[in-house]
Structure 1
Amino acid sequence: MAVFAGRIAITSFAAFALLAGSAAGALAQKKYDTGASDTEIKIGNIMPYSGPASAYGVVGKTDAAYFNKINAEGGINGRKITFISYDDSYSPPKTVEQARKLVESDEVLFIFNSLGTPPNSAIHKYMNSKKVPQLFVATGATKWNDPKDFPWTMGWQPSYQSEGRIYAKYILKEKPNAKIAVLYQNDDYGKDYLKGLKDGLGDKAASMIVAEESYETSEPTIDSHIVKLKSTGADIFFDVTTPKFAAQAIKKAGEIEWKALHILNNVSASVGSVLKPAGFENAQGILSAAYIKDASDPQWDNDPGMKEFVEFLTKYYPDGNKLDQSTGVGYSVAQTLVQVLKQCGDNLTRENVMKQAASLKDFRSEMLLPGITINTSPTNFAPISQLQLQVFKGERWVLFGDIISGQVGG
C-alpha cells in the first residue's frame, strides 16, 4: 500500500512537474511590450480629420471600421484591437503633441498609418529614438524606405518619386517635345514628386519643364497659380496637390479652357472626393496612376475582392463612400497590418512587429490591382512599388498599359 501510495505520489509529482513545465513554456512563448497583452493590442493613429487635408480623414475612419470587423470576428489570435486615433489638422506641431500622447500617455504598442509627409516627418526622429514602430505611414515619401538609419519607420504605398518617374517615362515616349508646367505643394511631399519627374526626364528636364509653381496649404485657393501656369504656354500640366487643391485645379483649368494634358498625382485621383466635386466635364482626359481597384469601374462589379469590400462598407462603415479612393486604401493597409499581427503570433514586442512587417512575401489585399503584390525585407521598407497608368473618361478611370515598377534606382 505504501509502495502504491508512493507511486501515486511520484506520478502526481511528475504530472505536476510536466504541467508546470508546460505552463512555463507557454509563458515563455508569450512576449509583450507596452500596449499588448493576452487580450488586447493597442494601436495609435494620427489623421487630419480637420484642416486643409481633411478629405483624407476617411482613411482613419476606414481603418477603425476594419478593426471593428476584426474584433467582431474574434480579434487576432484571440486579442482585440484598441484603435486610438487623434486629429492633427495636418499640422506638424500638433502631430508631435499627439504622437507623444499616444506613446507616453496612452502607451500604444505602435503608431500605424498616420497621414501626411510633413506630419510624419515631424515625428520621424522621435519615433525612432523611442524605438516605437511608425508603421505603414500614409505618405509615399521616399525617405520612409531607409531601414539602415530609421529602422522603426516603414511606408506602404508606392513612393512619390517612383510615381513621378513613371509619368516621366510616359511623357518621353508619347510627348518628347512637350512643355511641362508643374504645380506642387511646398513641402517634402510636393518636392518628392518633382524630383521623381526630373530624375525620370533626365537631361531633358531643364528644357522640358518651363514652369515650377509651389503653393502653401494655408492658401484658401490656388486659382491664381493655375492662371499663371497656363500663361507659360505649357501643353502638359503636372498637378502635385492634395484633394482640396486638386479639385480647385481641375475646376479652374476647365473654367479658363486650359487644354494641356493634365497629369494628376495618385493621392488625389479619388473620383468621389476630387473629380466629382471638380465636375466630371472638367476631368475628361486627365492622366494618373493607380494601384487600388476603382469601385466606379464596372470591370470589378463581379470581382470577389470588390464584393467583400462593398459588403464591409455596408456592414461596418455605411457612411463610407466606395467611390472615394481613400476608403480602398484604408481597407487595404488595415488588411496588411492584420497580416503582420497574425505573423507576430504571441510575440507582440515592438521589435517583432517590425520584423514581421519586414517579412511580407507576395501578400495581397484583394483591392490591389491584379499583378500588384506587397513585398518587404530587412533591406526593403517599400511594400508597394508597382502602378498602372489610367485615364479619366466619362465618370470613371480607365486603366491602360502594363503594370509598371517605378522603384527608385530601378
Structure 2
Amino acid sequence: MSQNAATAYFNYINSQGGICGRKIVYSPCDTGGTADGTTGCLSKLAAQDKVFMMGPSLDFNLDIVQKTLADNKLPWVGSSGLYDQEFTSPWMYPTQIPGGSVGALITTHAVKALGVKRIGVSQLRNGAGPSCTGKVKSTAEALGAQMVSVALNADVETSLDSQVAALKNANVDSVLFCNDPVNTIKFIQAAQRTGWKPIFFGGFVAADDVPQAAGAYGKGMYGLTMYDFYKSDSPGLREYKKITEFYYPNTFHHFYEQAAYVGAAAIVATLKAIGPNVNRTDFVKQLKTMRSFDVGLGLKLDFANLKNAVPSGIILKADDNLQWQIESKRFSPSGAKSSVSESVRPDFVADRTRSRIAPARTF
C-alpha cells in the first residue's frame, strides 16, 4: 500500500501536466523482503537503470544501503525511517520520525496522562528498537517513572510467551512496544493466554488491523500516529484520501502509506521549486530548504535536520470494537523545544515480508 500511495500521487501530478512539462516515472523493484534483494535492487537501479533518485519505499533492510547511495551520490526521499542510519546518511530523507522520538512520545503520554510508574519494554533487537528503548528509559526517568525491564525479540518469533513471562515477573504496570506491529500483536496474544493485561502502548501500530489482530486484549491498547489519523476529516486528509482512493479504490490506509505519500509530495515540491534544469546537487540543496514541510497531515518535517528535528504525534486508543479512536491532541515529547509552525503545501486540489524499492525519474 505504501507503493500505491506514492504511485497515486505521482500519477496525479502527471495527469496535471507533470513538472515543467515532464512526467515522473516511478518504477518499483521487488526485493522479496531480503537483504540480498535490497542490495540487488539498489545496485540495478543505481548502476544499470541510472535513476535520478530513489523514491518513497517501505523496505526492512535500509541499514545496508548507505554506501551504495554515497558511492552513486544518489538521494533517497521517503524512506521508511526504521533504522537510525537513515537519519545520519546525507543521502537519505525518511518521512517518519526516528525510533528514539517514538519512544519519547509514547513514554511522555504513558507517564503524564496514564500515570504509569513501572515500565516494561518489548523491543525488536534491531532497526528502531534500541533507540526507541533508550528514549523510553531516559524520558521515564526525567518524568519520575522507571523502565524496569526489557524483553528482546527477533524479526521472526513463533510466540512471545517467554517475553511476556519476563515482563510479568518484573511486576511492570505497562508494556511499551519498541517493536514491529507483528511482534506487538504476538505479545498481546501471548499475554491474553496468561490472563495478564497491563497497559499496552505501541509505537508502530497505527494501522486498523493491529488491535483487531491482537484480539480481545487489544481493547483499550494505546498507539502512536505521527501523521494525523487517516480516518479524520481535515483538508489535508481529504486530499490525501481523494488522490490515493481515486487510483486505488480499495487501498488500505495506515501510517506507512501516509509516509510514502508525503515523500512523493516532498519530491514534487522540490522539483517544482528547482524548475526545468534539474541535477542531484540542486535537488538536495533545495530539499534542505524545507524546514517545516507539511502537506496537511500534521507532522512537520525538517529536511535539513531530520535527526534532531522536534517530533510530534497523536495518541490513539482501541475502542470496544477494536477500532482506533483519537485519544489526544498533537503534542511533542517532554523536554522538547518548540518547533516551527509554518508549513509548505504542494499545489494540488483535491505485509511485512515483502519490500519494494522504487526510484523516481523525470523525462
TM category, shorter: 0.7 to 0.9
Task: Quote how far apart the aligned CAs of 1:122 are.
Answer: 0.4
1:400 aligns with 2:328: yes
2:79 maps to which of 123, 137, 142: 137
1:268 aligns with 2:205: yes
The change in CA–CA distance for 1:220 and 1:101 in structure 2 (over 3 A counts) is farther
Residue 214 (structure 2) aligns with:
278
Aligned equivalents of 2:310, 2:55: Cα separation in 1: 17
Structure 1 residues not aligned, in runs of 5+: 1-57
Aligned equivalents of 1:204, 1:123: Cα separation in 2: 37
1:233 aligns with 2:171: yes
Residue 316 (structure 1) aligns with:
247
Aligned equivalents of 1:210, 1:262: Cα separation in 2: 15
Aligned residues: 336
Aligned equivalents of 1:64, 1:209: Cα separation in 2: 42
Residue 288 (structure 1) aligns with:
223
Residue 3 (structure 2) aligns with:
60
Higher helix share: 1
2:120 maps to which of 143, 166, 181: 181
Residue 170 (structure 1) aligns with:
109
2:316 maps to which of 390, 393, 400: 390
1:373 maps to which of 270, 284, 300: 300
SS in structure 1 at match of 2:212: helix
Determine which structure has more spread, i.e. the larger CA radius of gyration: 1
Task: Quote how far apart the aligned CAs of 1:383 are.
Answer: 6.7
The change in CA–CA distance for 1:81 and 1:407 in structure 2 (over 3 A counts) is farther
Structure 2 residues not aligned, in runs of 5+: 339-363
1:127 aligns with 2:69: yes
Aligned equivalents of 1:128, 1:294: Cα separation in 2: 35
1:329 aligns with 2:259: yes
The change in CA–CA distance for 1:177 and 1:68 in structure 2 (over 3 A counts) is closer
Whether the 8 Å CA contact 1:154–1:381 is kept in 2: the answer is no
Aligned equivalents of 2:148, 2:200: Cα separation in 1: 15
**What code does the residue aligned with 1:218 have?**
V
Aligned equivalents of 1:308, 1:114: Cα separation in 2: 21
Aligned equivalents of 1:88, 1:320: Cα separation in 2: 21
Residue 357 (structure 2) aligns with:
none
**What code does the residue aligned with 2:218 have?**
A
Q: Deviations over 1:216-254 (max 9, x none)?
A: 113333344334433332211011222222222233333
The change in CA–CA distance for 1:106 and 1:402 in structure 2 (over 3 A counts) is closer
**What code does the residue aligned with 1:319 have?**
N
Whether the 8 Å CA contact 1:141–1:192 is kept in 2: the answer is no
- Taking only the aligned residue pairs, the percentage that are identical comes to 21
Report which stretch shifted further, 120-129 or 89-98: 89-98
> TM (normalized to structure 2)?
0.82
Q: How does 1:11-410 map to 2 (within 5 A)?
A: 58-116=1-59, 119-146=61-88, 150-174=89-113, 178-202=117-141, 208-265=146-203, 267-271=204-208, 273-279=209-215, 281-297=216-232, 300=233, 303-322=234-253, 324-366=254-296, 368-369=297-298, 372-377=299-304, 379-380=305-306, 385-394=311-320, 395-404=323-332
The change in CA–CA distance for 1:195 and 1:93 in structure 2 (over 3 A counts) is farther
Whether the 8 Å CA contact 2:116–2:173 is kept in 1: the answer is no
Q: Deviations over 1:351-370 (max 9, x none)?
A: 1121121111433212x13x
Q: Deviations over 1:47-102 (max 9, x none)?
A: xxxxxxxxxxx212221222222222221221111112122233223211211111
